[in-house]
Every structure is written in C-alpha cells, then in structure tokens.
Amino acid sequence: MISVTGGKGGTGKSTVAVNLAIELARRGKLVLADLDVEDPNDHILLNVELQNEEPVNIMLPFVKYEACIKCGACAEVCDTGAMLLSPDKVPYVIPRLCSGCRACYFVCPTKAIVEGKRTIGYTYETPVNVDDVNFTLVTGMLREGEEHTPPAVLQAKRRALSVEADVYLVDTSAGTSNSVASSLDGSKLVLAVTEPTPLGLHDLALILELAKEMGLEVWVVMNRSGLGPEDRHERVVKEYGYEIVARIPYSRRVVDSYVKGVPLVISYPDSEEAFKLKELADRVWEVLS
Amino acid sequence: MKVAFAVDENRGLDSLISHRFGRAEYFVIVDTDTNSYKVVRNPGAEARSGAAIKAIQLLIKEGVRKVYAGSFGPNAMTALEEMGIEYVQLSGVPVKEALS
C-alpha cells in the first residue's frame, strides 16, 4: 500500500494520485482508494460515475425508557455531547453529534441503551478504463452535514483492501487529522505532495512530523516546481531525514489537462511533466516489487 | 424564574450578551424571583464537540427556563426546544438592560 498525502490542500495530491494510478496500472493490478471522504474527487478527474454504492452505518443509541434508571452514566461518558440529560434525568440523543462509539451502550447498568444505526456516508467500487488501462477506484463519501470522518475512511479503506490487487494506492484528504492518520496507517511508502510556497512548506513540515511519528517512509514530491524558491523545503525535508524524489514542473499543460478533464499522462504523454510522473511510477513500482 | 445570559467577559450585570451561545465563556444566571444573580463558566467554551449541548446541560442543572444569546445553532435550538427552555436572540447589550 502506497499513500499520496501532503498536508496542504490544493497542492495536487489527487492529480498526482490519478496520474500515478494510471501509470502503475500499466504495470500491475491496481486499486485506487479515494479516502478524502469530505470531498472525494478522483472520479471527477478520471471522468467516471461512481458505482456499487454501499452505506456506511454507525451505531446510533436508542433509549428503552422503561429500563432507564436515570443514573446519567450515558451522558457522563459521552465524549461528543450527543447525550443530553433532561431536567428529570432522562437521556435525550442528538444523532448528528453521535460518533457511534458505543460508550453509552457499554456503560449503561440496566441495558437501557439499544443499538440502532445511522447512515453517515457511502462507499463505492467503480471500474475505471482509461487509455486501455483498467483498475478499480474505491471511494468513500460522507453525507452532507456529517462531521465524523473516521468511520467512512476506515470502511472505504477496508473495501479497497478487499479487492484483489498488486498495488493499493491511497489518496488522503488534506491536513494531519485522525482521518489522514487512519488513511496512512499501514503504508509501505508515503508520497507527500507539496508546492514551493510558504504555506506548502508549513503544512509539509506538519505531515512529515506525523509520518515520522507513525514510523513511515516518505518521499516528497515537489509539484509546480519552478514557481518559487525550494531551498527551505529542501532543508526541512533533510532535517526529517527524507528526500525530494520528484519535481513536477509548473506548466500550462498541467492546467490544460485539468481543464479538459483528461489526466496529464494521457493528454500529454510525451511532456516533461508526464515523464516525471512515469519516472516516479517506475521508482514506486521498484519499491513494491 | 431563572434566566441565563451568554457572555464572553464577566462584568456581572454589566456584561454584554455574547453573539454566540455554545462557546460563550460564561453564563450570567439571574433569579428574577429573588433578584440575585451568579456567574458560571460555560463548559461548552472548551469542548471539542457538542459545545451547545454541554452548555444546555449546565443550564438544566441550574434550573434555567430562558436563555439569551446572539445566535443558536441547529443542534442547540432542537435541544432547547426538547428541554422546554425558551431562547431569545439578542446580543451586544448589557444583561441589566435586557432584564428591564
């Protein structure tokens, strides 16, 4: 399993992931897992419609009022504030705040909490066929208004890993949250995509810190290379004991392929940028085999 | 009857009503029967999640029947209605002015 991440939003994680997926799929059987569940968009970049929907359900507590002794233990243990005690100490559940952790269920001394369920999102398994290349795209998507991302991330990841393949490529969300850590967990290699900007540098340091803490191997990919100075990025990467393994030049062609909605390695297969991505795919493939 | 006012800076009855409810720093709780008041810290101010619910739990514990703040989120409004606590949208004015 290989992950594409980077800390900052908008550095080109999904662009790198999608192009890399196509190149890796030429070499072996691949599953691309889009775990940016709050805003998955690899399917848009690949121009496919999501298929084979399955719900992501989490536990939602219901209260059996005749069994409730009004002890308040459920509200006390609730970490997200989803359980409110009324003036006469009867628990009242606020579904949207519930993360489905079951703590109330376990702590209730009279088994007055009944396990119900709630759908917070969906996973999809979509066959992709572009430029005579086939692979499977697994996508996690949170329902609008939901805030508990980890269950959707984990379920989509499980679904991706249940598909037989030689390579699993994970595309994470931006940031360094629980969800990103859950996405990265188990990666043999992490590709951290950054850009030569101060904010890119700042967020790169955060993701390198997280990866280091998780004991993961990181390769830094400098996207939009040439846009600005990279010496400070280089220093930071070196400090963490990692390396910038690829520089993808900033170019009009990348923007153009994005506008057309056709991944770069297909729309401009002979460009310098596509060459860098293919080279990266070769190096990744080497690590895997 | 006990009435609560969400405030961010504790200046007793001169405190200005906050524009927020769940994450306001304090509640000034006035007992209109005895004309007395007290100021309590809002546990919701530092909550990671469900701030408004933690604030409401405090109001229930204190026996509050009515609360003033600048705005209430959807979770807060639903829960306040369920718990039979009246809520009023008002901010930027001193507590004593809202009382009169």
Residues on chain B touching A85 (C-beta within 8 angstroms): 57, 60
- The whole-angstrom separation of Cα A139 and Cα A56 is 12
pLDDT of residue B72: 96
**How many domains does one find in chain A?**
2
Nearest-Cα distance to chain B for A145, in Å, is 11
Q: Is the pLDDT of residue B100 over 90?
A: no
Q: Does B59 touch chain A (CB under 8 A)?
A: no
The answer to ipTM > 0.90 is: no
pLDDT of residue A73: 95
pLDDT of residue B47: 86
A60 falls within a domain: no
Q: Across the interface, do A86 and B83 touch by the CB < 8 Å criterion?
A: yes
Same domain? A145 vs A220: yes
Find the CATH number of the domain harbouring B48.
3.30.420.130
Q: Does B82 touch chain A (CB under 8 A)?
A: yes
Show the domain range for B49: 2-65+87-99
Same domain? A97 vs A204: no
Of A86, A87, A97, the CB nearest to B53: A97
**How many domains does one find in chain B?**
1
Which residue on chain B is closest to A99 by alpha carbon? B49
Three-class secondary structure of residue B56 per DSSP: helix
Chain B contact probe: residue of A79, A89, A90, A94 with most B CBs at under 10 A: A94
Each residue's pLDDT expressed in tens, for chain A with a length of 289 residues: 999 998 899 999 999 999 999 999 999 999 999 999 999 999 999 999 999 999 999 999 999 999 999 999 999 999 888 999 998 899 999 998 899 999 999 999 999 999 999 999 999 999 999 988 999 999 999 999 888 899 999 999 999 999 999 999 999 999 999 999 999 999 999 999 999 999 999 999 999 999 999 999 999 999 999 999 999 999 999 999 999 999 999 999 999 999 999 999 999 999 999 999 999 999 999 998 8
B17 falls within a domain: yes
Q: Across the interface, do A82 and B79 touch by the CB < 8 Å criterion?
A: no
- The whole-angstrom separation of Cα A82 and Cα B47 is 12
Show the domain range for A100: 65-111
- The whole-angstrom separation of Cα B42 and Cα B30 is 15
Same domain? A175 vs A229: yes
Q: Does B33 touch chain A (CB under 8 A)?
A: no
B93 falls within a domain: yes
- Residue A226 has φ and ψ, to the nearest 5°, of 105, -10
Same domain? A99 vs A196: no
Same domain? A89 vs A16: no
pLDDT of residue B64: 97
Query: What digits encode the pLDDT tens for the residues B21-77?
Result: 999 999 999 999 999 999 999 999 998 888 999 999 999 999 999 999 999 998 899
For residue A34, the number of C-alpha atoms closer than 13 Å in the C-beta half-sphere is 29
Q: Across the interface, do B53 and A82 touch by the CB < 8 Å criterion?
A: yes
Which 8-state DSSP code applies to residue A271?
S
- The whole-angstrom separation of Cα B58 and Cα B48 is 16
* Nearest to A219, CA basis, from A175, A276, A163: A276
Same domain? A107 vs A128: no
- The whole-angstrom separation of Cα A88 and Cα A109 is 18
Same domain? A158 vs A224: yes
pLDDT of residue A145: 86
